[in-house]
Amino acid sequence: MAPLFPHRSRAVGRRLLRAWALQGVTWYGLMEIAMRGILEGSLVIALAIAGFPLLSILVAWLLFHTAAWFVLYGGFHLTWKLLGLAAGTARIEAHVDRLRTRTPRARSWQTVILRGGVARGDLDDRSDIDLLLVPKAAMLRKVAGILHLWTIRVESILRRVPVEARWIDSPKYVPYHLQGEPIVVLAETARPVPLGRLGDRGLLVTFSGIDGSGKTTVAKQVVVNLRAEGVDITRFWAHRQAWLRPSVGPDLGLAVLFESYWKRLGRGMEDLRQHGRVRSIYDALTVLDYVYVRLRLVRMLRPHTVVLCDRYVADVITYLKAWGPLRPSLEGILVGLSREPDLAILFELTPRLALERKAENPEQQLAAFAREFEALTPKLGLVSVDAGNPVDQVVAEVLRLLAVRLGLASGSQPKVQPLGADPSLVPSDRSRDGA
Mean pLDDT, rounded, for 384-407: 92
Strand partners, 133: 112, 167
Please tell me whether the overall predicted TM-score, pTM, comes out greater than 0.95 for this model: no
Using the predicted structure, report yes or no on whether residue 426 has a pLDDT greater than 60.
no
- pLDDT for residue 410: 57
Strand partners, 234: 307
Asked if 304 contacts 202 with a C-beta cutoff of 8 angstroms, the reply is yes
Within the chain, all domains assigned CATH 3.40.50.300 are found at 197-430
Using the predicted structure, report yes or no on whether residue 248 has a pLDDT greater than 60.
no
Using the predicted structure, report yes or no on whether residue 363 has a pLDDT greater than 90.
no
Tell me which CATH homologous superfamily contains domain 197-430: P-loop containing nucleotide triphosphate hydrolases (3.40.50.300)
Model confidence pLDDT, tens digit, residues 12-69: 888 888 888 877 778 888 899 999 999 999 999 999 999 999 999 999 999 999 999 9
- pLDDT for residue 419: 39
**CA distances for 29 relative to 73, 146, 151, 318, angstroms:** 12, 11, 17, 24
Residue % of the chain over a pLDDT of 90: 43
Using the predicted structure, report yes or no on whether residue 435 has a pLDDT greater than 80.
no
Mean of all residue pLDDT scores within the chain: 84
- pLDDT for residue 433: 41
Say how far apart CA 55 and CA 41 lie, in whole Å: 16
- pLDDT for residue 190: 66
Say how far apart CA 346 and CA 158 lie, in whole Å: 49
Asked if 398 contacts 249 with a C-beta cutoff of 8 angstroms, the reply is no
Q: Which residues, 6 or more positions from 431, have their beta carbon under 8 angstroms from its beta carbon?
A: 216, 237, 248, 249, 250, 310
Q: Which residues, 6 or more positions from 136, have their beta carbon under 8 angstroms from its beta carbon?
A: 107, 108, 109, 110, 142, 145, 189
Model confidence pLDDT, tens digit, residues 172-199: 888 888 766 788 888 887 665 555 566 6
- In total, the chain counts a number of residues equal to 435
Q: Tell me, what DSSP letter sits at residue 73? A: S
